[in-house]
Amino acid sequence: MQHNQKQRKAALWELFSAWFKIGLFTFGGGYAMLPLIEREVIDKKGWTDKEEILSIYALAQSVPGVIAVNTSIILGNRLAGIKGAAAAAAGVIAPSLIIIMSIAVYFDYIMNSVYVLQAFSGIRAAVVGLVAAAAVRIALGSLKDKAGYIIAFAAFALSAFTDLHAIAIILGGAVAGLLVYYFGARKGAED
């Protein structure tokens, strides 16, 4: 992964606070966090670029764990080593931990409040929009050729209309990508 001139090292406190903000203002987790991650680490901090963040997302999704935590660890490690990975992961996890512990104390009251239930209804709707926007942004940045579109469509269809496990779909995508590369390289060598 190449790094542009704007990319730089980050202090541990800066990593912790940036990822804390991402964790604090994201509802819905996972893909709903991607627009906030990009705004913070690309637009505001300049720690990476759009091409590299797509590679980081792909790597973060290919290992067990939450995409935001995995992304924070990968980028934190690149910016400040193991301590950076720990600081970034602690930052993104801390808001959820604090909020969940606070909610646990008042759980019965909160879950019986009509206002809370209506607020969560609105939050769920907003999360759908964030996830859709992240999917479009990733597709526009990742799909470069006809083979990519075919693999993406096949993965979508398998995920939406079968009970095939996500790991099998990801591994299938990897195999398909390797086959496209292998046969493309052979065809290029023959020409």
Number of neighbours of residue 167 by Cβ within 10 angstroms: 10
Clarify whether residues 63 and 77 are in a common domain: yes
Q: What is the pLDDT of residues 154-165, one digit of tens each?
A: 999 999 999 999
Residue 129's pLDDT band (boundaries 50, 70, 90)? Answer: confident
Residue 5 has pLDDT above 50, yes or no: no
Chain-centroid distance, C-alpha 172: 20
Clarify whether residues 82 and 112 are in a common domain: yes
Clarify whether residues 121 and 187 are in a common domain: no
Clarify whether residues 171 and 86 are in a common domain: no
Clarify whether residues 125 and 153 are in a common domain: no
Stretch 64-77: mean pLDDT, rounded? 92
Clarify whether residues 52 and 136 are in a common domain: yes
Rounded to whole angstroms, the Cα distance separating 167 from 149 reads 19
pLDDT of the residue at 2 = 45
pLDDT of the residue at 8 = 57
Provide the total of helices (H) and of strands (E) in the chain, helices listed first. Answer: 8, 0
Query: Which structure tokens are listed for 91?
Result: 């930052």
Nearest to 24 by CA among 78, 93, 126: 93
Residue that finishes a domain, picked among 110, 127, 142: 142
Clarify whether residues 114 and 99 are in a common domain: yes
- The one-character DSSP state at 31 is G
Query: Which structure tokens are listed for 81?
Result: 């080593």
Q: What is the pLDDT of residues 145-189, one digit of tens each?
A: 888 899 999 999 999 999 999 889 989 998 998 998 888 766 666
Number of neighbours of residue 71 by Cβ within 10 angstroms: 26
Indicate the number of domains in the chain: 2
Clarify whether residues 116 and 154 are in a common domain: no
Clarify whether residues 176 and 85 are in a common domain: no
Summary mean pLDDT of the chain: 85
Q: The domain containing residue 169 runs over which residues?
A: 144-191
Clarify whether residues 149 and 63 are in a common domain: no
